[in-house]
Amino acid sequence: MRLGVVGHGGRISGMIKGPFRQADSDLRVVAVVDPDEEGARSRLAEEDRDDAVFYPSLDEMVRRGNLDALAIGTRCNLHTPYAIEAAAYDIPLFLEKPVAINMEQAIALEDAFEGSACPVVVSFPLRVSPLCTITREYLADGAVGTPEHILATNYVPYGTVYWDHEYRNYDITQGLFLQKATHDLDYICYLMDSPIVRVGAMHTRGRIFGGSKPAGLRCSACDDTETCLESPESRKRNSSGGVQSDHWCLFGEDCGSPETGMNEDSSSALIEFESGVHGVYTQVFYARRDAGTRGATISGYQGTLRFDWYTNELHRVRHHRPFSDTIKAGGGASHFGGDTELARDFVAVIRGKGASRTPIRTGLESVYACLAARASAETGAFVDVRQVGAVS
């Protein structure tokens, strides 16, 4: 199975060497488009390292590479332009999220895939994770009656990555609704079986991370590492997570500002579904250690379901019978088992043996909801969510 990769960075190389290879041991990376050939080659599996051919463009890679499948693993801002190119071919595509970072990109992407025969697996591990799919099965079996409300939370215990890694670059991420909530709003719609039509959102920025330290400052050149809670020494001493090697300052002016754009310390969205019910989603990026939690509570007149990917448990309460129960999933898999499921879907699509559970439509629906959330947080007004298929 001959895979061509655009942007062979940390995330996609990890997916290929782990879940993709587990799903199909015949899979080989035979072609790459990446301006950093040395770095990209170093991330290839040993068996691919010598043979993979680097191409200057996606077009040339497809014309000359004799490919069975494509994967786009660049940073966020390049997902759309490369996916638009890929839409012209019938080759199955694995596409990293978010599928777009602004409205222009999202509409152009939707246009490109209208009538395209290119099957897409969008990289949404939460939707396909076993805990999420069993929750959906419970809902389909009537565990809560009709779902009337959802409360979803995401206390990210590794949130410093959005400040001390490249993710701090707002021009590329366009904020953490698009970067992070794209996963959550996607699985929320899946569970509620309804698209989001209206959002009212708020964000808090520049109160914890960001600041006035000089641009480009790294811990190795800083005088405050004894007292700074984010220095490698402190993180080690306090077991507070995050990279424990030299890194960019989380309090630097190059983290951006509320005026120029920056990632948020926390953000929340009040969401209305097409079905007429509503829900809430909150994400917090300074949480640490055991404060980490990600999951949802879905309720209806008949009952309540509550699950958390960190504890890997689903709790079911019957409102009108004296029984409650908890089921526990096996742990240990990356993205709560979702990455394995995505890989199996991708291989099935390539082999013509199955369909994607995260087609391009899911990526677009989520991006439209995230863009509405960001617009609402910026303006203070409720914002209608553009729907896939809407006429411009």
Ligand X SMILES: NC(=O)c1ccc[n+]([C@@H]2O[C@H](COP(=O)([O-])OP(=O)(O)OC[C@H]3O[C@@H](n4cnc5c(N)ncnc54)[C@H](O)[C@@H]3O)[C@@H](O)[C@H]2O)c1
User: Which of 1, 45, 78, 243 is close enough to bind ligand X by CB under 6 A?
Assistant: 78
Nearer to ligand X, 76 or 287 (CB): 76
Nearer to ligand X, 170 or 273 (CB): 170
> Residue 360, interface with ligand X (CB under 6 A)?
no
User: Which residues, in sequence order, are bridge partners of residue 29?
Assistant: 3
Instruction: Find the part of the chain contacting ligand X (CB under 6 A) among 32-40, 140-148, 229-237, 347-355.
Output: 32-40
> Residue 265, interface with ligand X (CB under 6 A)?
no
- Assign 278 to helix, strand or coil: strand
- For the segment 313-342, give every residue that binds ligand X (CB under 6 A): 335
Q: How far apart are CA 111 and CA 252, in angstroms?
A: 39
> Residue 135, interface with ligand X (CB under 6 A)?
no
> Residue 4, interface with ligand X (CB under 6 A)?
no
Q: How far apart are CA 330 and CA 74, in angstroms?
A: 31
| Closest alpha carbon to 11 in 145, 123, 100 | 123
CB of 134 closer than 8 Å to CB of 224 = no
Least separation in angstroms between residue 6's CB and ligand X is 5
> Residue 171, interface with ligand X (CB under 6 A)?
no
User: Which of 4, 19, 65, 73 is close enough to bind ligand X by CB under 6 A?
Assistant: 73
Q: Applying CB under 6 A, what is the total number of residues that bind ligand X?
A: 24
CB of 312 closer than 8 Å to CB of 215 = no
Nearer to ligand X, 57 or 220 (CB): 57
Helices (H) then strands (E): counts for the chain: 16, 15
H-helix segments, the chain:
10-15, 21-23, 37-42, 46-49, 58-65, 79-86, 103-113, 125-128, 130-140, 161-164, 170-173, 176, 182-192, 232-238, 338-350, 360-379
Nearer to ligand X, 42 or 326 (CB): 42
| Closest alpha carbon to 125 in 14, 290, 254, 237 | 14
Q: How far apart are CA 162 and CA 176, in angstroms?
A: 8
CA-to-CA separations, 228 to 20, 35, 165, 231, 235, in angstroms, rounded? 40, 36, 17, 6, 9
> Residue 266, interface with ligand X (CB under 6 A)?
no
Least separation in angstroms between residue 316's CB and ligand X is 27
> Residue 6, interface with ligand X (CB under 6 A)?
yes
User: Which of 35, 56, 115, 352 is close enough to bind ligand X by CB under 6 A?
Assistant: 35
Q: Treating both helix axes as pointing N-terminal to C-terminal, what angle do 58-65 and 79-86 enclose, rounded to 10 degrees? A: 40
Least separation in angstroms between residue 161's CB and ligand X is 9
> Residue 36, interface with ligand X (CB under 6 A)?
yes
> Residue 75, interface with ligand X (CB under 6 A)?
yes
> Residue 56, interface with ligand X (CB under 6 A)?
no
Site string for ligand X, 94-113 (x = CB under 6 A): --xx----------------
Positions that interact with ligand X (CB under 6 A) = 6-11, 33-36, 39-40, 73-76, 78, 96-97, 123, 125, 166, 179, 335
